[in-house]
Amino acid sequence: MTSTRREFLGQAGAIGVTAALAGSAMGAGLLTQKRKPMKILFLGGTGFAGPPAVRRAIANGHEVTLFNRGQTGPDMFPDLEHVQGDRYTDLSGLEKLVTDGRKFDAVIDTFTYVPETVTNAMDILLPAMGQYVVISTTSVYASRATPGMDETGEKATVDDATAAEIKTHRDVGMHYGAMKMRVEEAAEQRFPGKVCVIRPGLIVGERDTTGRYSYWPIRASEGGTMIGPGSGDDFVQYIDVRDLGDFMIHCIEQKHMGAYNGISPAGARTSRDMVQSAVRVARKKLGVETKVEWVDEAFLDEQGVQAWQHMPAWVPNSAEGYEGQGQLSTTKSIAAGLKTRDIDDTAWNALSYFIERGKELEAERGSEFAEQWRTRIRGGLPAEREREVLKLWKEREHEG
């Protein structure tokens, strides 16, 4: 029997509620049960995806060591062991850890753009580690055309000659997904059966500086009338950076190997859910009322308002090749223990970071710098252009 879209949404919502309830109970149990402390080495740990995982590891009683350049978040985690080095030019700190006889239950690598960068570190650490965790991406998949695609879906590729010219993360460009896939394959070849690959999609929340999601809660906090893209029924998927961090540590504790999609449940969230969540949070937390005007996707296209760029985290399912957008399977990951929190919690986490960090930068570097930062982090459709598009939309409605 073929389910309607509404039935599918209802089923997905029920699954989400059940998972949330189960997650709450399991989470409470995990907080009270005794764990064997593990030794975890982070290659990175102070950027965007790393800190929540570090905090979860500490909270769960594990011993954490950080290896990085000491340039991003240098004052973070002052009580932890910091080993300074550079993934491209200086791995001597890792070599010393090994020669000193140090052993790690797991190594988490969040800097996984080029195979050689990953395997150079792995070659040093092989005798000293029990598991290698690669933070990859859902961009390894060749397309978004198939709803419900799982971890075995067709992968992006790049020819050997082109790949050989890509030496650093700055060179990756359009081959981002294909190079991440090469990283996954290279890691597994180096350490067969001992690699856990987590493929997050759009990562959102505190310390996100890309504007790829935060636009929505930030825009809602500005009040007035904002554009909602399309019908509101298109599926979206993203993951709170804190949920990703929790899942990293859970995979280590459970010794999970293989690949897992690290993203919210398939078909459980629509663009309407995402936008209305932002509006709710602005009202509840800041007392700001914002109205949403849902604007036809064809009209947005006519006005040069682009999906994803101007309307972050949204791509219409009607777009060719994106019929499966927002519906990547997470069945395997949920069975392995992935949990995702309430979307309002995520929206507030992103918005509160924007507010508080903006205040800090204003105090540290002045109002002009802070305002430039706020504009960049906000992303999405500029306010003036949004007003123009809404005016034209209203005029067309009246003409109709």
Per-residue pLDDT of the chain (400 residues; tens, 9 = 90+): 333 333 333 334 333 333 333 443 344 333 435 578 999 999 999 999 999 999 999 999 999 999 999 888 888 999 999 999 999 999 999 999 999 999 999 999 999 999 999 999 999 999 999 999 999 999 999 999 999 999 999 999 999 999 999 999 999 999 999 999 999 999 999 999 999 999 999 999 999 999 899 999 999 999 999 999 999 999 999 999 999 999 999 999 999 999 999 999 999 999 999 999 999 999 999 999 999 999 999 999 999 999 999 999 999 999 999 999 999 999 999 999 999 999 999 999 999 999 999 999 999 999 999 999 999 999 999 999 999 999 999 998 777 5
CATH number 3.30.70.3170 is the correct assignment for the domain at 35-200: no
Q: Is-contact 177 143, C-beta < 8 A?
A: no
Q: What is the DSSP letter of 175?
A: G
- In the chain, CATH 3.40.50.720 sits at 35-200
Asked if 296 and 230 touch (Cβ cutoff 8 Å), the reply is yes
Cβ-Cβ contacts under 8 Å for 115 (sequence gap 6 or more)? 179, 182, 183, 185, 186
383, 222 contact by CB (below 8 A): yes
Residue 240 to residue 340: CA distance in whole angstroms: 7
Whether this model's pTM surpasses 0.85: yes
Alpha carbons 94 and 121: distance in angstroms, whole number: 8
* Integer Cα distance of 278 and 293 in angstroms: 14
